[in-house]
A and B are shown apart, each in its own frame.
Chain A
Amino acid sequence: MVPTNYYLALAAILFTMGAMGVLIRRNALVIFMSVELMLNAANLTFVTFARMYSTLNTTSVYNGQIFVFFVMTVAAAEVAVGLALIVAIFRNKQSIDVDQLNSLKG
């Protein structure tokens, strides 16, 4: 028996670590990986709550799990487009350091 809030606390820690990665890292690829970490933490809370509410018999366990599928699909689409963008940017600027991508700055 592992209490629900242990899982939720772990997911919160992982999510905030992902948010910190987005804030402190300057490599665009590592920023993308941090976004993946945050999506993963959200998935963990989905599965935890699905499990919790199914033991309370309020809803089926599969509703939460299907949402995890949709999050995974969106994550896959996001990674495909995002990495294509990174490749296109690298071709133009020879760099993926986000601090150097300031062409739109007035």
Chain B
Amino acid sequence: MSGELILFFILALTAILTAAGMLLSRHAVYAALYLVLNFGTVAIFYLLLGSPFIALSQVTVYGGAIMVLFLFVIMLLGAEQITAEFSWNSVVPAGLLGLALVVEALVLVLQKVSASNLQVATSVIDAAPEPLAKQLFTVYLLPFEITSILLLVAMVGAIILTKTEKKG
């Protein structure tokens, strides 16, 4: 077993355990912290797949910005003290549905893809950000501009939704 495969299995175990921890933790703060760890392991997977720029933007955007926003809202609402009542009656059907989904996904992945079991080559590829930026600003220029409009609309929407109207 090569070193990279061992690293993959350790990281995969970490990713799955942190995802399970997020699902099962009663407090929202713990769930958020597990999710940060999960995003970190996924960032290392991106590094293994030879896309360092995506890995670093994963850390800054997901691990940084989005999770800070989550933690900020949790603290703002005092939601860390809310422990919702938990009834097994509602969990069992949903859990069975999810389990069926897992089995189906695994069967699909292991059957369809193992037919063409392609290896991910780990030789060093040119993963510098320059060609990526060149493609982003030439071929994908219009979608890129549209995402800027999307972010502007999201910002305006967030401000309007949380604005308190002054009376009088």
Residues in chain A within 8 A of chain B (CB atoms):
1-10, 12-21, 23-27, 29-30, 32-34, 36-37, 40, 43-44, 47-48, 50-52, 54-56, 60-63, 65-66, 68-70, 72-81, 83-88, 90, 95-97, 99
Query: How far apart are the CA atoms of A37 and B58 in the complex, in Å?
Result: 12
State the majority secondary structure of interface residues on A: helix
Taking CB atoms, residues of chain A closer than 8 Å to B69 are 79-80, 83
Could you say which of B16, B22, B118 contacts A3, with CB atoms under 8 Å apart?
Answer: B118
Residues in chain B within 8 A of chain A (CB atoms):
2, 4-5, 8, 12, 15-16, 19-20, 22-23, 28, 31-32, 35, 38-39, 42, 45-46, 48-51, 53-54, 57-58, 61-62, 65-66, 69-70, 73-74, 76-77, 79, 82, 84, 86, 90-91, 94-95, 97-99, 101-102, 105-106, 108-110, 113-114, 117-122, 125, 127, 131-132, 135-136, 140, 143, 147, 150-151, 153-155, 157-159, 161-162
Taking CB atoms, residues of chain A closer than 8 Å to B94 are 20, 23-24
The answer to whether A84 touches B42, judged by C-beta atoms less than 8 angstroms apart, is: no
